[in-house]
Chain A
Amino acid sequence: MDRSEILKQLHGIFADALDNDDVKLSNETTADDVEGWDSLTHIQLVVGIEKHFKIRFASQEIQKWKNVGELVESIHKKLPS
């Protein structure tokens, strides 16, 4: 799966966790840019992503992404090529 496809699929997970279909995501988006993306929602997102892509993040990974692009990169590495 390429990075743009991952970003596209992330959109659905964010919309579900934030209960907002209009959420806009790009590689540069950070938590500060998105209404409702706080530390608790972040966990909901992480669990949602793990379930959707059938992957697991290590505990330390969860807090280190600076923007959506880095998150996409993390997912990309874990998916079978």
Chain B
Amino acid sequence: MQTFSELKRNLKKDFSNLKKIKIAILGDSATQFLMQALRGVGYENGYDLQIWEADFNQVERQVFDPTSELYEFKPEIVIIFQSAHKLLGKYNKLKPEEYSGLADSRMEQVGNITTTLNEQLKAKIIYYNYTEINDSVFGNYATKLESSFLFQLRKLNYELMVFAASQSNFYICDISTIQNQSGKANFFQSSVYINTEMVLSLAILPEVAARTFDLIGTMSGTLKKCLIVDLDNTMWGGIIGDDGMENIQVGSLGIGKAFTEFQYWIKKLKNRGIIIAVCSKNTESIAREPFEKHPDMVLHMDDIAVFIANWENKADNIRQIQKILNIGFDSMVFLDDNPFERNMVRENIPGITVPELPEDPAEYLEYLYQLNLFETISFSNEDAERTKQYQVEAKRTVQQKSFTNEDDFLKSLNMVSLVEPFNKFNTPRVAQLSQRSNQFNLRTVRYTESDIEAIAVSKDIFSFSFTLEDKFGDNGMICVIILKKEDEKTLFIDTWFMSCRVLKRGMENFVLNTIINFTKEKGYSFLKGEYIETAKNEMVKNHYFQLGFEQSGNKWLLNTEKYENKKCFIKIK
């Protein structure tokens, strides 16, 4: 990780071609260095974070005054940093009979701030939680006494999580964990605090900035979807081809414990919806054996979406995995104990994240915890089903090879699609797809859950979500359309994105048939589309052209009266 000085040096570099995000920071302690570190980290990740910093200790004035500079600035993200030190200062001034109300009164304030920000802005809120301070007035007894500062602080951190769970645009940046991992002596430096009112030490600033950026990056669609893992000395100790299945190290004895715990971590990631792939230099049948037969293995074949074990080079194998999964290299993480393989992959696969695993496998997990690789801003039940869907996809690919006629193949799939407007059940998934879809995304407008809720009740906006089910399984929701009324004759396709999992199934035709029928029924004559180029959506550059739209300036038009339904083997469910 860069030092603060290195991050600060980034500020003099050229930001002109980077992605811009407007961010406001409001703090009750001095935040100038945090702002500089955050902007420096943004640069490292290809972002021009345009940060406006409120004057010191102006959180409430800026939020509750509708004419404040905050609202003039119109940020997309508001960061609020109310520090544990200032909270302690507030507690110190209370009368003893008021101590027990500290957390509740702070939560009330946080609630008011959030409500007011939501009324005035369409911004996401990042709130730092409270780093632990025990004022040692009661010793350990503080944990039994509701009026102690420690009790109130921990209650507050818990209540913040409960609050965040109920709000669609309120996110906590968990700096309490950063302090736990690095130690308070590293996190906080008294002399810096006394002289500058800054509660973060210079040493910890890059870490806090990086964790804050994890949230910001994820909000704009940068996130990890897949973990690719090597086998020998990464997944288990020893070399399966040489040592044999009986002698690999996994289980409760000695260093085996480290690999078992590592596998449990991977299993939890899989349950969360991260796609797990294996990439190993091995003979396939030998490499699979532990997953099928070893009693101490935590991971089994059904946890692995793509299993590649051969003697080809790993960069080629990872390209193969990428083809099957159809996701960007920048959403992949590769774990391998061998520095040579790591460098080879790093050099040949641009964008992929390759952590420098420590030499001692006992340290893998603590190291990986610190990296925070799998940030997300949403979670839905469909995530958990993802591995199954990719395995089904692999089967489909095999069957497709046995059909010579594509139409026959598509017919044989017995595809059905459920078409629904946005509602409270599909909102989380719509928002999530909106954050994740990069390739098949015509305009790449990102919507949060609260945006989706607003669209669902709007009169001039029409929404469609599509699922796709076939004889092999249910893909879940895979496509979203948002149409906006432009004038009496025309509907504008504000959003069209689709999961790449369902390419080449005629889904585009089905979607177009569906929205044209809707357009006609509502009495409109034209559909208008637009392609906005990003680094990732070249795949749909000719999308509207291929569907028969006519170019009109930088937009695309389709006259619905002349339209004939396109061939399609998907039925409405």
Q: A16-B5, A17-B5, A19-B12 are in contact. Are A47 and B189 (CB under 8 A)?
A: yes
Across the interface, A44 reaches (CB within 8 A) one of B12, B190, B194, B202, namely: B202
Chain A residue with the shortest CB-CB distance to B3: A16
Determine the distance from Cα of A58 to Cα of B192 in the docked complex, in whole angstroms.
10
Q: A44-B5, A47-B189 are in contact. Are A59 and B194 (CB under 8 A)?
A: yes
Task: List the B side residues contacting A16 at CB < 8 Å.
Answer: 5
Chain A residue with the shortest CB-CB distance to B30: A40
- Indicate if B32 sits at the interface (CB-CB under 8 A): yes
Task: List the A side residues contacting B9 at CB < 8 Å.
Answer: 19
Flag if B191 contacts A59 (CB, 8 Å). Answer: yes
Instruction: Please report the total number of A residues contacting B with Cβ < 8 Å.
Output: 16
Q: A17-B5, A46-B191, A59-B194 are in contact. Are A40 and B32 (CB under 8 A)?
A: yes
Chain A residue with the shortest CB-CB distance to B195: A62
Interface centre among A43, A46, A63 (most CB of B within 10 A): A43
Flag if B5 contacts A43 (CB, 8 Å). Answer: no
Across the interface, A47 reaches (CB within 8 A) one of B190, B194, B202, namely: B202
Task: List the B side residues contacting A17 at CB < 8 Å.
Answer: 5
Chain A residue with the shortest CB-CB distance to B12: A19
Determine the distance from Cα of A29 to Cα of B190 in the docked complex, in whole angstroms.
27
Task: List the B side residues contacting A19 at CB < 8 Å.
Answer: 5, 8-9, 12
- B195 → chain A closest CB, angstroms: 5
Task: List the A side residues contacting B202 at CB < 8 Å.
Answer: 43-44, 47
Q: A40-B32, A40-B33, A43-B202 are in contact. Are A62 and B5 (CB under 8 A)?
A: no
Flag if A58 contacts B191 (CB, 8 Å). Answer: yes
Flag if B12 contacts A39 (CB, 8 Å). Answer: no
Chain B residue with the shortest CB-CB distance to A62: B195
Chain A residue with the shortest CB-CB distance to B203: A47
Flag if B190 contacts A59 (CB, 8 Å). Answer: yes
Interface size class of B (residues with CB under 8 A): 10 to 19
B residues 192-226 near A (Cβ < 8 Å) are 192, 194-196, 198, 201-203
Chain A residue with the shortest CB-CB distance to B189: A47
Across the interface, A43 reaches (CB within 8 A) one of B8, B190, B195, B203, namely: B195
- Indicate if A57 sits at the interface (CB-CB under 8 A): yes
A residues 18-68 near B (Cβ < 8 Å) are 19, 39-40, 43-44, 46-48, 56-59, 62-63
A-B contact count (CB 8 A): 36
B residues 255-310 near A (Cβ < 8 Å) are none
Determine the distance from Cα of A32 to Cα of B425 in the docked complex, in whole angstroms.
63
Task: List the B side residues contacting A48 at CB < 8 Å.
Answer: 5
Determine the distance from Cα of A17 to Cα of B3 in the docked complex, in whole angstroms.
11
- Indicate if B236 sits at the interface (CB-CB under 8 A): no
- Indicate if B170 sits at the interface (CB-CB under 8 A): no
Task: List the A side residues contacting B196 at CB < 8 Å.
Answer: 39-40, 43
- Indicate if B334 sits at the interface (CB-CB under 8 A): no
Determine the distance from Cα of A32 to Cα of B4 in the docked complex, in whole angstroms.
24
Flag if A47 contacts B192 (CB, 8 Å). Answer: yes
- B465 → chain A closest CB, angstroms: 50
Determine the distance from Cα of A58 to Cα of B194 in the docked complex, in whole angstroms.
10
Task: List the B side residues contacting A47 at CB < 8 Å.
Answer: 189, 192, 201-203
Task: List the B side residues contacting A43 at CB < 8 Å.
Answer: 192, 195-196, 198, 202
Determine the distance from Cα of A39 to Cα of B192 in the docked complex, in whole angstroms.
11
- A57 → chain B closest CB, angstroms: 6
Interface centre among B5, B190, B196 (most CB of A within 10 A): B5
- B543 → chain A closest CB, angstroms: 47
Flag if B191 contacts A57 (CB, 8 Å). Answer: yes
Determine the distance from Cα of A81 to Cα of B299 in the docked complex, in whole angstroms.
59
- B9 → chain A closest CB, angstroms: 5
Flag if A63 contacts B5 (CB, 8 Å). Answer: no
Interface centre among A39, A40, A57, A58 (most CB of B within 10 A): A40
- A3 → chain B closest CB, angstroms: 23
Task: List the A side residues contacting B195 at CB < 8 Å.
Answer: 43, 59, 62-63
- B166 → chain A closest CB, angstroms: 38
B residues 23-58 near A (Cβ < 8 Å) are 32-33
20 contacts between A and B (CB under 8 A): A16-B5, A17-B5, A19-B5, A19-B8, A40-B196, A43-B198, A43-B202, A44-B8, A46-B191, A47-B189, A47-B202, A47-B203, A48-B5, A56-B191, A57-B191, A58-B191, A59-B191, A59-B194, A59-B195, A62-B195
Q: Which B residues lie at the A interface, using CB under 8 A?
A: 4-5, 8-9, 12, 32-33, 189-192, 194-196, 198, 201-203
Known A43-B195, A47-B203; further 18 A-B contacts with Cβ < 8 A:
A17-B5, A19-B9, A19-B12, A43-B196, A43-B202, A44-B8, A44-B202, A46-B191, A47-B192, A47-B201, A48-B5, A58-B191, A59-B190, A59-B191, A59-B195, A62-B191, A62-B195, A63-B195
